[in-house]
Chain A
Amino acid sequence: MADLAELLRGAVAGERRSLARLLTAIENDAPGIRELLPSLFAAGRGAHLVGITGPPGSGKSTLVSALAAEWRRRGRRVGIVAVDPSSPHTRGAIMGDRIRMMDHSADPDVFVRSMASRGQMGGLAAATWVVAAAIDAAGYDPIVIETVGAGQSEVEIARLAETTVVVEMPEAGDEVQAIKAGLLEVADVLVVNKADRPGADRAARQLRAMLSTAGGRVARKPPPVLLTSATGGEGISALAEAIDGHRSVARLPDQARARADGQLRRALGEAATRRAASRADWTATVEAVATHEIDPITAAERLLA
């Protein structure tokens, strides 16, 4: 493994191979990576972090590819992180999002990286936000994070991304699906993709109606609902505008604070787990929980004491 600081310097200078190797070191939590974090984040250039989430097969990868083409036309350099699930049994994974993105593979101003979730729940890998930070340091903006195909509760992306795009498709359920809690609530922009299929207008109408009547204690402006056909290139320009337009909203102090709160809580959980798991009494504590000698909540408090 090359020197990590050297890899960071190379990545910042625009060397794709250095960036790629740095991302591997981050994913593997290689020795020395935690010490590199302050300089890694300090090298950040403030790229717009855009999350794309939605059910499997809704066309996320194709949409990301079409968006990348649109942003390239506008002279932007685009970073893409595509997360796919790891097998809980073997740790193996098949990452196929690149298939839809090969149009960009020879373009030096588009960087695509596939990530396996490696056991992490919530549609992202644990290292996704550090990977995004490294791509930011390399000068790509926007950075698009495509989650694992998500259902109703994979809202982790909203903690990381400044702008969260939720992709739905026609005939994916009735109005009750649309009023359930979860994924739709974290959308900054809602997309009904595959708009060339029947039922797209109806789906968009239902989503708009549901979102506009949502009131009560959630004081939130309803997100725009856009129709796209990623394969036909329709609605892509409007979607890019909506995402770009949301950037300034996402950076209002209260929004930035809400994300920071989520990120800090998550990092705290990871740091506490790491410390507790390296304690001498960790194995005995696991055993005690397994045999119901102690409950996991009390055990956790003791490990942190």
Chain B
Amino acid sequence: MTETPAPETPTTGQPPIRVLIAKPGLDGHDRGAKVLARGLRDEGFEVIYTGLRQSPEMIVDASEQEDVDVIGLSILSGAHMTLLPKVVELARQRGMDDVLIAAGGIIPDADVGKLKAAGIAEVFGPGTSIGQIARYFREHARRRA
């Protein structure tokens, strides 16, 4: 067993960042999402994992109740152009303007600009390390008193 590095000491510092990891749409597996959830746990995040086949409504409802700082959407199915902007739209309707919404999975480069224009903060493609994602979330998630 290798010792897990402690990014923050357990008794000091700010409260953990809460992240909801969701799989919108009809993807058949969630291997990548689970690896990410585990990796973010080891980076000191509190990760709420909601499982497969979620509608944008379910994701936003869950995010609202959990008051997360970040919503991470993992999608492989190719339906990202319809589902991801819908999540952003619903979240903004609920007044969740300060929640960081990011995406990962199989998303062609040509779509990345459009997704960002629709309010997706960042798109992480295959090969992105957990460390990169963790750093991005730490730098961009809202922090609270």
Chain A positions within 8 Å of B, measured between CB atoms, are: 1, 16-17, 20-21, 23-24, 27-28, 30-31, 86-96, 98-99, 102, 105-106, 111-114, 116, 118-119
Contacts and interface: CB of A to CB of B under 8 A. Distances in A.
A168 B84 CA distance: 41
B51 A113 contact: no
B61 A105 contact: yes
A17 B10 contact: no
Contacts of B145: 1, 28, 30-31
Contacts of B41: 87, 90, 92-94
B144 A28 contact: yes
10 contacts: A1-B145, A17-B64, A17-B96, A20-B64, A87-B4, A90-B42, A92-B16, A92-B40, A99-B49, A112-B62
Contact of A89 (B6, B38, B50, B54): B6
Contacts of B94: 17
Interface string B77-121: 000000000000000001110000000000000000000000000
B122 interface: no
B57 A23 contact: no
Interface of B: 3-8, 10, 15-16, 18, 37-38, 40-51, 54, 57-58, 61-62, 64-67, 94-96, 144-145
A106 B96 CA distance: 17
Given A93-B46, A98-B50, A106-B57, A113 B4 contact: no
Most chain A CB within 10 A, of B10, B37, B48, B94, is at B48
Contact of B44 (A23, A28, A91, A96): A91
B95 A98 contact: no
Most chain B CB within 10 A, of A1, A16, A95, is at A95
Nearest to A96: B49
Contact of A102 (B3, B54, B67): B54
A102 B96 contact: no
A102 B48 CA distance: 12
A92 B43 contact: yes
Contacts of B65: 16, 20, 105, 111-113
B22 to A, nearest CB: 10
Given A95-B48, A105-B62, 12 more contacts: A21-B67, A24-B18, A28-B15, A31-B145, A86-B46, A87-B42, A90-B4, A90-B6, A92-B40, A92-B46, A94-B37, A98-B50
Contacts of B4: 87, 89-90
Given A30-B145, A88-B10, A93 B47 contact: yes
